[in-house]
Structures are given as structure tokens and as C-alpha cells.
Amino acid sequence: THTRRLILRHIRNGIELPPLARDNHYDFNYQQYKRLPHEVEILPGDELILECDYDNDSDNYVVVS
């Protein structure tokens, strides 16, 4: 099982703001630091949700921990 796509969602007061980051072609073997194009303020109570899409071509069971 391999992660293929990532999106970092930002929720404030129950309202979803524009995503902070998105990688539609994530590759574990090519991890890198990515600077955001603009400064983002994260306030107390904000929620950050990392959403991942997986490719399970090998028909392995997905393990959640």
C-alpha cells in the first residue's frame, strides 16, 4: 500500500478554508521540504486534517494504527 495523493485541509470555526498544501503525485522516495507560497496563520482551535489517498495494487489489507 502506497500513498499517492496528499492534501492538508484547514478548518476554522467549522468552515473549511483553502487547502494549505496539496500533492497530487506524492512519492515516498522523493520527499522534500515545500515552502508555502504565502504565510498562513494557524489560530488556537483551528483543525488541520491530512487526507491521504492510497494505491493498494498488491491487494494487501490496509493497516490502520
Whether pTM > 0.85 for this model: the answer is no
Q: Checking phi first, is residue 7 left (phi over 0); if not, alpha (psi -120 to 50) or beta?
A: beta
Residue 30 — φ and ψ, nearest 5°? -135, 55
Average pLDDT, the chain: 85
**Residue of 15 and 61 predicted with greater confidence:** 15
- Residue 62: count other Cβ atoms within 10 Å of its Cβ: 7
pLDDT at res. 26? 80
**Would the pLDDT of 60 be above 70?**
no
